Structure formats: C-alpha cells, structure tokens
Amino acid sequence: MSEASAPHAADRRELTAAQRNAVAELLRVSPVADELGRRFVRAGHELHLVGGSVRDALLGRLGDDLDFCTDAHPDETLRILKGWAESIWETGREFGTIGAQRDGLRLEITTFRAESYDQVTRNPVVVYGTNLTEDLKRRDFTINAMAVSLPEHRFTDPHGGLDDLSAKVIRTPAAPRESFGDDPLRMLRAARFAAQLRFAVHPDVHAAMSRMAADLDRITAERIRDEFTKLLCGADPITGLRLLVDTGLAERFLPELTGLKLEIDEHAQHKDVYEHTLTVVENAVSYEEDGCDFVLRMAALMHDVGKPATKAVGPDGRVSFHHHEVVGARLTKARMKALRYPKDLTAKVTGLVALHLRFYGYGRGEWTDSAVRRYVADAGDLLPQLHKLTRSDCTTRNRRKAAQLGADYDALEDRIARIAAEEDLARVRPDLDGNAIMELLGVPPGPVVGRAWKHLKEQRLEHGPLDRDAAEAELLRWARAEGILG
C-alpha cells in the first residue's frame, strides 16, 4: 500500500471500535456458524466465514446472509448439511456453491476456487482449489479477501484487507490489470462498493479502470444492470456515478450520462447539466422515506438526458431545450430496455421523466382546476414520486427563486389536496361506465363504447364530476354530434 493510503492513528482507533462491533456481530451468528464449522471439522474438512460477511462484520453491519468457503466438494458439503439444514438448494452447484437455511440465516458454502477466465467472456473455467490462501487471492478486492476460520475464529488476511478497510480504500489482491482482465465486471463492482461503503478506489485501481473500460463490453447487459442498480441504490450514489464517468465506464453502458457533461443548464448557468443532474439525484435521495426508491433515483438521473439532442441557441444567445422531456423519456425507455430492466419499472421511470417539467408555469397562475386534475390523472400512482422529483429539480442558488418555486409547489400540493377532498382524484373516471353507455346508446361492445368513454373522461377532467342526468345528457349530445344517434 502506498504511504498516502496507509491508515492514520485515528483510523486505527475507529478500527478498534469496528472490531469490537465485529465480535458482537459474530457472536450473534456464532451458534449456527460454529456448529456448522464443527460439522465440517468432524467430517475432515475446513470451513471459513469469508468475503463480504467478514467485511460487514468488521463494519458492524453483518446481515443474515453468510458466505463460507471450504475444501469440501459440493457432494461432501451436501452430506454434511443433510439432517442439519432446514432447507438446501443447489442452484449454484456448477460453480461449487451449495445453499442452506438454518435459524433464519441463509448460508452459501462454496468449495475453494482457483478458476481461470477465458479473457473473452466473464465466464470462469471452474477449477477447485486446495487451500484458503489460493481462494482469497482470486477474490475481487482486499476488503473481500479476509476470512474467519470456524469454529476457532482464527482471522486470515493475506492481502491487507483490514488496513484497506480502515483506510476506506478499494484495492485488488492481485494487480488490477490481472483482476479486471479476469472479470471486467469487477470494475463496475469497484464503483458500486465506492457508492455503498463511501470508500475511495486506490489510484492503481482507478488507472486500470480507465485503461480497461472497453473490456466491460464482454459483460452481459443483465449483470451490468444488477451492479448498476446496486450502485444507484448505494448510500453515496454520486461518488459511484462520478467514478463511472471519470473512468469512461459510463460510456460503455450509459452514454447519456457522460453526454450531459458539456451541456449548459438553463436553470442554473453556473453549472452544467451533468453537475445539475448529480445534484438532483442527491436531492432525490434526501426525500426518500424508507430505503432506496430506485424509480425516483433513476428518474432523477435521466430527467435531463434529452437536453443534448434539443439544445438550441436563440438570436439573443439564450440557450433552450424545448421538449427535452419528451426526447428524454424516449431515450430513457431505450436505455432501460437495452439494460434489460423490467417493462413495468421502465414505464414508471419513463413516465416521471416525461412529466418532470409539467409543473413549471404553475406559479404564473394559469392553471385551472382542470389542469390540476390532468396533472394528477397523468401522474397516477407516480404522483408522490413526481412531487419529490419536481422538488429535487430545483437546484438554483438564487434563494429568492428557490423559495418561490418551493412556495409554488406547496400551493399546488395544497390545491391537489383540496380538490381531492371534493372529488376522487385518485380514480378519475367517466361518470358513466361502459354498461351504462351501451344501454343508453343501444350499441354493442366495440369502438363506439371506447370513444364515448374517452369523451366522458375528458369532460370529467375538464369540468369535474357530473350528476347522472348531466352525464347522460352530455353522452347523448356527443352521440348525435358524432352521427351515432339520429
């Protein structure tokens, strides 16, 4: 480790506290872990708590998913688990992993690995290893290359993971070029851990990520999607996102983010759109109430991606981005489809991007109750997230302007609440259903009913609820105008 990344005395004091937490965490799971360790020892094998489980124990945040490694092969592991585990699964067997559950803990036991990679795909040629040291060397980062042997609780740290954990630095056990050459997904994992743990990547790791960014093209879209989702849901997504852009990794799977960097932001011209976007993501995180809201964070990240394609400079030199929300929604849909996100998730994020500018102009006093109803109806179930996204999008340093925007949105939310109290805004529907329309017009199911339903919904949005007589009169008026009734 370089002198610059060596832990300071204060870090060592923090680490002592972390180790005390780790003891408490390990004691919490030790009845199960130690019992399993004794079973492996009686069978003539080793068992070690390893990887993220040891890292998280040292950070005082060990969860209920525990990772182990062993010299036992999968068939032997199965024999040891049978009759002891409450349930067993073999979905990872081809990679040497057997899963089990006991006392509310999910356990994954993997045979020592010493695989090599074909340098074309990320798929390893699985080769079982023979010892713990060899297994730890193949792991992605030093902070994940520590082990606690069971049941004796012997600590093994051949690559300085404890020091790196103290220094809050991400470093690879082998040379970064070798590690990332084996598995390019590790570059994205480095950015993900930086976001999750608020750690910095070692300069050597950063340099290798920059040089080898194109190797990420070997990775499937699904694996990239999963790592990126974890990054965006990290405690500090901004650090991870900056790392993706600075190393060129974003250009390989999310070029829209890099494309924002040179665009001028018309709301705050002291910032470019890239910086504005990161601030919006940060603001969105602050509005979350219960854990990561991926839809909100992703919409915040993508809300302005339509600006580069819509940038125009007027005769007066002013920059505009007309209809960038429409273009941005289209780009967002295409990018999320390419990353294999589910259609329902994509639709929600795209919907928020398309609606994020709707509020601007409300403060001019031009909105009727009809406009408010349409705002609510178009947002649908996304309305709470749209509120948060719109507020997050206010990044101006002009305090008076920021205060006015906040007051305007407060007024809009109050107005929505008032109208909602008078009308069922959450379920804006025509005042006559399909059966009533067919009965009144004397028509069978078909396109006419759909057109009539749509017309009545427009009337509902424009004028609010109609009583039965008024709704029927409007339907008959429309039907005569359309030539449906004589």
Residue range 389-446, pLDDT digits in tens: 999 998 877 788 778 777 888 888 888 888 776 655 445 555 577 778 887 788 888 8
pLDDT band at 125 (very low <50, low <70, confident <90, very high): low
Predicted local distance difference test score (pLDDT) of residue 114? 74
pLDDT in tens, 197-221: 999 999 999 999 999 999 999 999 9
Q: Is 395:413 a contact under the CB 8 Å cutoff?
A: no
Q: Which of 115-119, 124-128, 186-190, 479-483 has the highest mean pLDDT?
A: 186-190
Determine how β-strand 319-320 pairs with β-strand 200-201. unpaired
Of 11-20, 21-30, 304-313, 470-479, least confident by mean pLDDT is 11-20
Q: 331 exposed, middle or buried (CB, 10 Å; 0-12, 13-18, 19+)?
A: buried
For residue 15, give the H/E element and its range.
helix 9-42
Predicted local distance difference test score (pLDDT) of residue 320? 76
Predicted local distance difference test score (pLDDT) of residue 45? 97
Give mean pLDDT, residues 464-483: 79
Q: Is 338:221 a contact under the CB 8 Å cutoff?
A: yes
Q: Is 112:69 a contact under the CB 8 Å cutoff?
A: yes
Per-residue pLDDT at 8 exceeds 60: no
Residue 321: what are its φ and ψ, rounded to 5°? -135, 60
pLDDT in tens, 53-83: 999 988 878 889 999 999 999 999 999 999 9
pLDDT in tens, 301-340: 999 999 988 888 888 778 778 789 899 999 999 999 999 9
Give the integer Cα–Cα distance in Å for 65 and 107: 6
Q: Across the chain, what does the average pLDDT equal? A: 85
Is the bond into 430 cis (omega within 30 degrees of 0)?
no
Q: Give the rounded percent of residues in the chain with a pLDDT score beyond 70.
A: 86
CA of residue 429 relative to chain centroid, distance? 34
User: How many helices and strands in the chain, by DSSP H and E?
Assistant: 23, 13
Amino acid identity, position 45? H
Return the DSSP state at 219: S
Of 33-47, 96-110, 364-378, least confident by mean pLDDT is 364-378
